[in-house]
Amino acid sequence: MNTILLVGAIVIIICILCSKLSDKFGIPVLFFFILLGTIFGSDGIFKIPFEDFQFAEDICSVALIFIIFYGGFTTNWAHAKKVAPVSILLSSVGVLLTALLTGFFCYFVLHFEWLESMLIGAVLSSTDAASVFSVLRSKKLNLKYRTASLLELESGSNDPWAYTITIIILSLMSQKLTSFDIFSIVFSQVVFGVLFGTVIAILSKKIMSSVRFEVSQFAPLIMVAIAILSYALPTSFNGNGYISAYIVGIVLGNSEIGDKKELVSFFDGIVDLFQIFLFFLLGLLAFPSQIPNSLLPALAIAVFITLIARPIAVGIIMKLFKCPLEQIALVSFSGLRGATSIIFAIMVTASPTYTNNDIFHIVFFIVLLSIAIQGTLLPYLSSKLAMIDNHEDVLKTFTDYSDEKNIQFLTLKMQENHPWVDAYIKDIVLPPQTRIVMINRKDIKITPKGNRKIEKDDELVISAFEAQTEDDLKLSEIILDEDHHWLNTYLRDIKIDHGLIVLIQRDNQIIVPHGDVLLLNGDMIVIAHSSKGHLLDKMILDIE
Sheet holding 435-441, edge to edge: 409-413, 459-463, 435-441, 444-446
pLDDT of residue 175: 81
How far apart CA 301 and CA 324 sit, in angstroms, is: 27
Number of Cβ within a 10 Å radius of residue 103: 25
Helix, strand, or coil here: 417?
A: coil
Sorted by sequence, the CB contacts under 8 Å of residue 59 that are 6+ apart come out as 277, 278, 281
pLDDT of residue 544: 38
DSSP 423: -
Whole-prediction pTM: 0.74
How far apart CA 515 and CA 503 sit, in angstroms, is: 13
User: 297 with 110: CB under 8 angstroms?
Assistant: yes
DSSP 441: E
DSSP H or E stretch at residue 158: none
Which residue stretches of the chain have pLDDT < 50?
Answer: 401-403, 405, 466-471, 533-544
How far apart CA 401 and CA 130 sit, in angstroms, is: 20
Among residues 154, 181, 155, the alpha carbon closest in space to that of 168 is found at 181
pLDDT of residue 541: 42
Residue 446 pairs in a beta bridge with 439, 540
pLDDT of residue 293: 87
Among residues 377, 526, 523, 537, the alpha carbon closest in space to that of 443 is found at 537
Helix, strand, or coil here: 420?
A: coil
User: 304 with 103: CB under 8 angstroms?
Assistant: no
Angle at 135 between CA 381 and CA 124, to 5 degrees: 85
Sorted by sequence, the CB contacts under 8 Å of residue 238 that are 6+ apart come out as 185, 188, 189, 192
How far apart CA 256 and CA 245 sit, in angstroms, is: 19
CA atoms within 13 A on the CB side of 210: 6
Residue 453 pairs in a beta bridge with 424
What one-character-per-residue DSSP string does 299-324 give? HHHHHHIIIIIHHHHHHHHHHHTT--
DSSP H or E stretch at residue 428: none
